[in-house]
Structures are given as C-alpha cells and as structure tokens.
Amino acid sequence: MAEQHRKMSLDSGWLAARSTEVEFSGTQLTTTHPPPPPPTTSPIPPWMNALVPGTVLGTLVKNKVIPDPFYGLQNESIIDIAVSGREHYTFWFFTTFHCSLLENQYCDLNFRGINYYADVYLNGHEISLDKGMFRRHSLEVTDIIHPDGHNLLAVLVHPPNHPGTIPLEGGQGGDHEIGKDVTTQYVEGWDWMAPIRDRNTGIWDEVSISVTGPVKIIDPHLVSSFSDDYKRAYLHTTIELENRSLSTAECSVSIQVTTEVEDDICLV
C-alpha cells in the first residue's frame, strides 16, 4: 500500500446535512462567523453524524433516517433520486482537523474519490472539484491552513448529472441515463441488483491530509523485467517530482528494496 509522507486520514468526526436544509453558505460554515456546528455525538439537526468515506445513503442508514435497503423489500420505501430530484441527495459534509506547518512545509488535501462533483470550502476559501467518480483530487492548501492548526472543512457533494429514472418493471440499467456520466452504472439497477436510490452520491473514498517538504513525490511507476529464465530480474522505477518552493531544490533521491525473510527481519 502506498504511503505518503505525514499522511493523516480524515475518516472520523464528519457531519452531514441535506443542502436544502442548511441556511449557511460554505464560506460561512468554514469561518467563525457564525460558528459552525462542532462534531459531537449528538449533532443538532439538520446535521447528523456522517459516514466518510461513504455515500449519502450510507450516512442516512447509519442515522436510521432510512431503513437498510438490503433487508427484505426495504429499498422500496426509500425515495429514488428520479422522484425526489437531485437536491434531495445533495449533501454537505463538514469536519474539522488540526494541521500545523513548519517553515518550508507544504500541505495537500486529498480526495481519492467523490461521486460526482463537489464544492470544497476550507477556512472560507472555495475550491471547485470537477466531475468524475474515478479520479483523485489533490489540492495544495498550504496558504489556506490556519497557523493555529484548527481548520474547518465543508464539502458540498452533488449527485451524478444524469441519475435517470427507474422503470416500474425495473430492468437492466434502468433507462440508461446514468451511462452518460463517468460513474458506476449498476446503480440504476441490474438483473441482479435493485436500484441505489442516491446513485452512490458521496465522498466515497479516502480523504486525507499530507504534509511534505518543498519537493513532493507523485505517482511512482514500478516495472520489472526478466532474463535468463527468471533467474535475473530488473526493477525499473520512474517517478514525478514537484518542487513547490521558489528556489532550485538540490536533492538526493533514493530507492531501497527490502524483503521480509522472517517476522521483523528484513533483507536489504
């Protein structure tokens, strides 16, 4: 599993609320005027404890607002996005986190998957994330992070643009509208699956903060080649490096490959 330098997952302490029930803007939610609702065990409605990573439906099930769709015919009692409209499943997600930076350190806010697009607000600053379920977003937020380490993050997540409608008789892929977007397609229902009412809208994969020095490693690529009937192997490694500082970075870059021969004993 890839590990980034000083990476912190933001997978707890999230709140969520339906966008139509929140009277504040993203800027207001992430500044101290008015104070945002702090993550608590009993949040004040319309806010509820959120499942991040997860979907809107996952959060609603977690809070028992709707029944678990995978038991009996309970999915029938959950309103479909085609009936409710996209606003019904457009949700705010909110959290706070601590991150203080030293001199010449840089901070990224990373989303590994959002379905379908989002407006991110961090300490009053707005950043729009483009559509697409299967893409990562890495936002440099060095200049936005509060020096005292206390940061407010709100994410307004929008459903796919073409959630489609489900024919009464169900069927393969509903009315196929979901295929117009770059998102998962089973959510309109298939021959083996009932429709997913929110079309899997949400911050569905990992959210993290990573802190690096002036130079950041991006997407290494490891390839092996062989000769002599697999008795000889070569590891080919390519990386991207980004220097974010205002001066040329004189660096040493190293690669080390180890194997664990026994528990806790590595061969270099």
- Region 42-61 residues binding other proteins, contact defined as CB under 8 A: 51, 53-55, 57-58, 61
Q: For residues 187-206, which are near other proteins according to CB under 8 A?
A: 188, 190, 193, 196, 200, 202, 204-205
Residue 23 or 228 with smaller CB distance to other proteins: 228
Assess 3 for contact with other proteins (CB under 8 A).
Answer: yes
DSSP letter string, 72-108: TTGGGGSPPHHHH-GGGG-EEEEEEEE----TT-EEE
Q: Using the rule CB under 8 A, which residue among 69, 80, 158, 166 binds other proteins?
A: 69
Assess 178 for contact with other proteins (CB under 8 A).
Answer: yes
Assess 14 for contact with other proteins (CB under 8 A).
Answer: no
Assess 8 for contact with other proteins (CB under 8 A).
Answer: no
For residue 147, is the peptide bond before it cis, meaning its omega torsion is within 30 degrees of 0? no
Assess 250 for contact with other proteins (CB under 8 A).
Answer: yes
Q: Side by side, which strands form the sheet with 117-122? A: 48-49, 15-18, 91-98, 150-158, 117-122, 125-129
SS3 177: helix
Taking the complex as a whole, the smallest distance from the CB of residue 223 to other proteins amounts, in Å, to 6
Q: Using the rule CB under 8 A, which residue among 8, 101, 139, 217 binds other proteins?
A: 217
Output the CA torsion sign for 255, 261, 263, 267.
negative
Asked if 114 and 157 count as a contact pair (C-beta separation under 8 A), the reply is yes
Assess 186 for contact with other proteins (CB under 8 A).
Answer: yes
Cα(264)–Cα(135) distance, rounded to whole angstroms? 36
Taking the complex as a whole, the smallest distance from the CB of residue 104 to other proteins amounts, in Å, to 6
Q: What is the largest CA-CA distance in the chain?
A: 69
Assess 183 for contact with other proteins (CB under 8 A).
Answer: yes
Residue 119 or 175 with smaller CB distance to other proteins: 175
Q: For residues 220-249, which are near other proteins according to CB under 8 A?
A: 220-227, 229-249
Assess 263 for contact with other proteins (CB under 8 A).
Answer: no
Residue 5 DSSP symbol: T
Length of the chain counted residue by residue: 268
Assess 93 for contact with other proteins (CB under 8 A).
Answer: no
